[in-house]
Structure 1
Amino acid sequence: MANAKPRVVRGATQNHESTRFSLPQTEADGDWLDARGDIDGAPSPLRTTVTIERPKTIISRNQSPDVSFDRSVNPYRGCEHGCIYCFARPSHAFHDLSPGLDFETKLFAKPSAPELLRAELAKPGYVCRPIAFGTNTDPYQPIEGDWRITRACLEVLAACDHPVTITTKSDRVGRDLDLLAPMAAKGLAAVMISVTSLDPKIAMTVEPRAPHPERRLAAIAKLSAAGVPVRISISPVIPAITDHEIEALIARGAEAGACAAGFIPVRLPWEVAPLFEAWLDTHFPDRKGKVMATIASLRGGKRNDPNFFTRMQGSGPWADLLRTRFHIACRKHGLDGERDRLRTDLFRRPAGAQGELF
């Protein structure tokens, strides 16, 4: 794999088979490819396809002690940003699709999400707590520009005065300031924007279809200026690739107007691990050994730690060092405040098929 030519502007270097469901390895051919053929000997760019998914419910629940939310909405399945480290990749195997290139190119959209959301909020037993967007795949990935499902869901929440948190690595979130700013003024909205590297070359390799880091920092500034609480996430921190940027990222986030920061050491669950190693073979063969050895140090000698309380933090000397550097940088730049608590007392249950309010 060290001499393989990566696909143009895609993250994964292959359609790696699923290790859990005996998913056969899928070759990228047929109507997946642009008609232009190979470019300078490299594989043709893959076209993105979108399939409509019709779920019966849209609010997902969790009881994990490692996250601050107990419910979330994911308007899309799969993500065109193509981040090689994305822990959501394995979910594509449930659809007999590869967590590799399929995850980036075979996307699913849920246009019924706003109606399903309205119906679930209207149930008599519904208890209001913040709904998180961007917990699995990015709600502002490129196809949101056309489908606008995230925005439609925000319109439902805004009409009900329901709190929402958003995590994204796209400046497209700024398009919805007309909704987010009034919600934030009521204590109903908070955003986290992910910036994992300030180096455009590294960012383009790690997150090939995500917006330029400077555009994300500009989005932080735009949201902050509009009164929306916005945090900077530098997750995931990848040893020997992005860890040297911790202090610079925190400094730039503070300069842009972020009110707090967060980080998680890189996680490699299930099929993500072999995809990540193949990506290292292609893009960073000279430091693959160091990267994987440090990850093992963070994860109890393994490629991944699935256990509660440690999976998001890592353990051992390397984890302690990363946390120390992060906390020192946050204190220096005033980003060590507590997470904003959003209001739930303003919630008004939607009524009627059209969601009209009393």
Structure 2
Amino acid sequence: MEIGIAFIILAGFVLINIIYYFYLARIGFYKLSENITSQDAVSVIVCSKNEQENLKTLVPLLLEQNHPNFEIILINDASIDDTLELIETFQELDSRIKKVNVINNESFWGNKKYALTLGIKKAVNNKLIFIDADCVPASKDWLQYMADGFVNHKSIVLGYGGYYKKKYSILNALIRYETGMTAIQYMSYALHGNPYMGVGRNLAYTAKQFYDVSGFIDHMNVLGGDDDLFVNQAATKKNTAVVVNPNSFTISKPKDSWATWWTQKRRHINTASHYKFKHKFFLGLYFVSQIGFYLAAIAGFVFGINWMYILGLVLLRYLVMWITVGKGLSRFRESDIIPFIPILDFLLVFTQLGLFLTNLGNQPKRWK
């Protein structure tokens, strides 16, 4: 490969990358709104499958939220531990807690969307706020900030769900980097008027919006997607809000082994193929341009004559990335991993490629 060809190909991929990074810079420079005004009643919905230990931590924190009017819908999704008994205990202690007990339906075996649908039907309030059982709110104002997202006639509110930090762990850094990058993407897209996904760890929408699109019916048989596929289907420029105040975050325990994280990400990545065409195209172009950048850069260094030009393109791409992505990661309180962006980015891109290739031959079967 001649230096001219390598340089031109690499320059093309770098240009595409830089355009995307400037597009994704929107969330990092987004001006926060500090107004806490909504007093409308809301329903917090938690879907639980074998989560008795996590619920012991989560439910008391939910009950302490600084919001004047809310109920908590605790869904037991056919657990085999004592989740149901624990929910019933909480129900006896506080009238704000409502129980939904899901018995496996042969048509929807192991499908979280079926359980969530029953929980949504149980809710008495139109405004629904979702958090996973293995999460905790970042503050006592979490519920209020998420509820405030419904102002100005918004029916979908996208929040951020981060993970606890663990020192000296490459896996933990990669998980937090991947989570931060995903949030930078879907929140920036939403702020540009092109929302395409959200995360169920911290998501809100109205019951009316849910019923207007017939709930999860269009993708009920797809494993996962109760969050991103629903948002992809229902979200528009006018009905979607983004909440990024640190008090509005949720925090989860990250996977502690590569095998369990790999299994989790296989479920998540499987849903992207069901996005709208325009979202698949632009997300796919971004991913291909990242793969292309690394392959072209390696080829340029190996076969190139004047390696300084190749190095200049690589450094330019990383400089723009450090500024734009670093600003977003800082917003999500992930500043400690910013110095390691080049390493984490390389690991993530080729991990995603491996996940994609693995899923081509064998699709995940259950949500948990």
Higher share of residues assigned helix: 2
> Could you state the TM-score of these two structures normalised by the residue count of structure 2?
0.28
> Could you state the TM-score of these two structures normalised by the residue count of structure 1?
0.29
Higher relative contact order (CA 8 A, sep 6+): 2
